A = this chain, B = another copy of it.
Amino acid sequence: MTTQQLHEQILQKKSFLCVGLDPDLTKIPQHLLETEDPIFEFNKAIIDATHNLTVGYKPNTAFFEAYGIKGWMSLQKTINYINENYPDIFTIADAKRGDIGNTSSMYAKAFFEDLNFDSVTVAPYMGKDSVEPFLAFENKHTIMLALTSNEGAFDFQTLNTNGKELYKQVLETSKTWKNSENLMYVVGATKAEYFTEIRKIVPDSFLLVPGIGAQGGSLSEVCKYGMNDMVGLLVNSARAIIYASKGTDFAEKAREEALKVQQEMAEIIGLKLQV
């Protein structure tokens, strides 16, 4: 998928919501545990209920790997289900990978070829040759951690390096890498005031924004400082949507929560288009 196609989908759905799929067997509705693949059945119901309100799905690989082979099979079924039934949806493997070049090539193969995701999240610590193998794939997107939404973000990401915070250095350096136009960045919603600075460095890039909902970030604040002409934001919400109910009505309740966010987004996009 190209960023142009992603942008068109955002305007069409009046949404830049991404639903995070973090399926946890201790949190999903009990009645699903009787099915052969509870994780897939849970994801499928959430996807069917929300697909016209969201432009992206972001399965978090940890929540599949924790269940071993069975979990990896659920991940495969989930991405196949999205690609077959809702091919216009932007898919993100939230995997936070990154290693020396020949190893990153194998990760890229895993997520872009074997599983056929549109994008994958990566960590920047190992630098250029750990990320460029992902960037080599045409019409695939590599979403690199810049400033994350967790407490530990302040351990290293905001350290002063040669007069600027590390995350800014990461953003700037990454722009010099080969095929850097295939980069997007993770920027946590819990730090809306940082978006102004970030947009000075990467005005045109899409930003994947976690931290809305359970982690406490504000959508309007993020949009105020983070939007660009392409909208340029994918705002992720996981727990607040997928665990809105633990009952048999979980998919319906998930849709209601997604609809609330989508309506807020539609209003923001509407105001922006009028300007």
Contacts and interface: CB of A to CB of B under 8 A. Distances in A.
B170 A152 contact: no
B150 A126 contact: yes
Chain A: number of interface residues, binned into ranges:
35 or more
B156 A125 contact: yes
Contacts of A110: 62, 65-66, 68, 71
B123 A125 contact: yes
B109 A127 contact: no
A258 to B, nearest CB: 21
Interface string A90-118: 00001011111111101101100011000
A159 B161 contact: yes
A27 to B, nearest CB: 10
A110 B166 CA distance: 30
Interface string A207-233: 000100000000000000000000000
A96 B208 CA distance: 21
Contact of A126 (B94, B115, B130, B152): B152
A39 B107 CA distance: 17
Contacts of A166: 156, 159, 161, 166
A68 B114 contact: yes
Interface string A154-185: 11110111100010011001000000000000
A149 interface: yes
A100 B149 contact: yes
A38 interface: no
Contact of A151 (B60, B102, B128): B128
A69 B66 contact: no
Interface in A21-61: 22, 24, 60
A153 interface: yes
A125 B157 contact: yes
